[in-house]
Amino acid sequence: MESAKNLPVAVIGAGPVGLAAAAHLLERGLEPLIFEAGTTAGAAIEHWRHIRLFSPWRFNTDAAAVRLLEAAGWEAPRPTALPYGGELIDNYLAPLAALSRIASRLQTRARVTAVAREGLDKTHIKGRDTTPFLVRVEHADGETRDHTVAAVIDASGTWSTRNPLGSSGLPAIGEQAAGDRISAPLPDVTRRDRASFASRRVLVVGAGHSAANTLINLADLAREEPETRVLWAVRGDSASKVYGGGDLDGLPARGQLGGRVRRLVEAGKIELHTGFGISSIKSVDSSVTIGAVDGRTIVADVVVPCTGFRPDLDILRELRLNLDPAVEAPMELGPLIDPEFHSCGTVPPHGAKLLAHPEKDFFIVGMKSYGRAPTFLLATGYEQVRSVAAALAGDQESADTVHLELPETGVCSTAAGTSCAVPATTSVVASDAESGCCAAPEPVLVGFPTGVAHGRSGTNN
């Protein structure tokens, strides 16, 4: 950050990883400038505050953020408890964002619309590495302003860009026109959004954690509002990936959720349609007809798209990125998390080196760093931003020594047929350059992928 030394570091997004990045930058004596599109920190999680996390508190908080909070008298929640999204906000993110050291650097209702090098478009190389970044922001007052910063950490997540329902990665024919029949990805069907689902025919599409939660909540709703019909479409030939190992599953959170979904299907409370790759959607009066590639149709009143998410790369168009062509994660990270080849969320700890782009001092972190892969865990993101802050501060040794603590035993199998057992609660320290899939895995996936692209085959749907 030579010539831009005294400028702040822009952090895009005040989710858990963006706020953690700010905490690490502060510890390093760097000045964060946090832009959050929503009205509060944790704005994306606000949409799923009614959903329970599948990893316990001790893996959901960042060490530097906790140090800031504890200095202000904050008491950590019980480490083994599984919080709801709302609790993650109320008991951790909101208090963190309210600390004066964070609040004074956080701008809400501030949406980043573009990032570039000041005075240089993407094609210009001369002096690029030492030229400050320009971050264009739409502010709450309706004005758009350019901010000059030394470095940029993009922690803007993927919530705002869900995968389409169509099975080719494109919207199904008619999907946009039928937009008013398609809900948010994780509606609160029994409370906040109840009126839109009670006594309706609801089609849930997808085969991840979000689909399982929504199906269970819809079945609860149908008990109270018997006219409600719960329909479920998955592209794969069976829903076994969602069911997991049921009550015998080595991962209890996954087993319980999957077991409940299976019992509801077997009891006829959920009508399952397998092999249903969606090709078209057509609104007819107050209902919608969903067509499959093989000609089958389902008629519903509302569609819930639990199809996973993809990164918004448009705002980064003027930057020189190096992304994996399939997963849209940083090039070297992509193969380690590609859901076509990895059956679980196991990746090595990694940091600034693995996340680097040709654009010096620019990093994508958090959920967005996984691109289209659905298996991101907060603990991974917290280690990413610790390493990135160290790198920006010039502490390369600390940046390159990546650590991760493993919560429990898990097994990672790859398409190549290899697998490896991960020892229980082990601290892993690895060089960012040396880590490999089975050498140094991260916390095992305690649950399903948080969203699964309906269009991917052979993985989770």
Ligand X SMILES: Cc1cc2nc3c(=O)[nH]c(=O)nc-3n(C[C@H](O)[C@H](O)[C@H](O)COP(=O)(O)OP(=O)(O)OC[C@H]3O[C@@H](n4cnc5c(N)ncnc54)[C@H](O)[C@@H]3O)c2cc1C
Residues forming the site for ligand X (CB under 6 A): 12-18, 35-38, 43-45, 48, 51, 53-55, 111-112, 155-157, 159-160, 186, 209-210, 315, 366-367, 376-378, 381, 450
Least distance (Å) between residue 282 CB and ligand X: 29
Name which of 112, 87, 36 is nearest 362 in CA terms. 112
Q: Which is nearer to ligand X, 79 or 394 (CB)?
A: 79
Q: Which is nearer to ligand X, 182 or 292 (CB)?
A: 182
The first and second tokens of residue 46, run together, are 């606000």
The first and second tokens of residue 186, run together, are 């994780």
Helix, strand or coil, per DSSP, at residue 82: coil
Q: Which is nearer to ligand X, 72 or 81 (CB)?
A: 81
Residue whose token pair is 């190549």: 416
Residue whose token pair is 């996390």: 53
Name which of 115, 161, 160, 109 is nearest 138 in CA terms. 109
The first and second tokens of residue 306, run together, are 């639990």
Least distance (Å) between residue 429 CB and ligand X: 20
Edge-to-edge order in the sheet of strand 302-305? 270-273, 229-233, 201-205, 302-305
Least distance (Å) between residue 391 CB and ligand X: 18
DSSP 8-state code for residue 343:
S
Q: Which is nearer to ligand X, 131 or 158 (CB)?
A: 158
Q: Which is nearer to ligand X, 51 or 440 (CB)?
A: 51
Least distance (Å) between residue 250 CB and ligand X: 17
Q: Which is nearer to ligand X, 162 or 235 (CB)?
A: 162
Name which of 460, 418, 419 is nearest 244 in CA terms. 460
Q: Which is nearer to ligand X, 83 or 334 (CB)?
A: 83
CB atoms near residue 68 (< 10 Å): 20
Query: What DSSP letter does each residue of 149-216 carry, written as one string?
Result: ESEEEE---STTSBPPSSTTSSPPBTTTTTGGGB--SS--TTTTTGGGTTTSEEEEE--SHHHHHHHH
Least distance (Å) between residue 343 CB and ligand X: 18
Q: Which is nearer to ligand X, 37 or 288 (CB)?
A: 37
Q: Which is nearer to ligand X, 3 or 39 (CB)?
A: 39
Least distance (Å) between residue 199 CB and ligand X: 26
Least distance (Å) between residue 313 CB and ligand X: 11
Least distance (Å) between residue 183 CB and ligand X: 14
Least distance (Å) between residue 170 CB and ligand X: 22
Query: What DSSP letter does each residue of 93-139 carry, written as one string?
Result: IHHHHHSHHHHTTEESS-EEEEEEETTB-TT--TTGGGSPEEEEEE-
Q: In which element (H, E) is residue 265 found?
A: helix 252-266
CA distance 262 to 254: 12
Q: Which is nearer to ligand X, 271 or 312 (CB)?
A: 312
Q: What is the dihedral of CA 322, 325, 331, 335, to 10 degrees?
A: 180
Name which of 74, 84, 81, 19 is nearest 51 in CA terms. 84
The first and second tokens of residue 122, run together, are 């993407």
Least distance (Å) between residue 346 CB and ligand X: 13
CA distance 190 to 452: 23
Q: Which is nearer to ligand X, 82 or 293 (CB)?
A: 82
Q: What is the CA radius of gyration of the chain?
A: 22
Least distance (Å) between residue 127 CB and ligand X: 27
431 has which bridge partners? 401
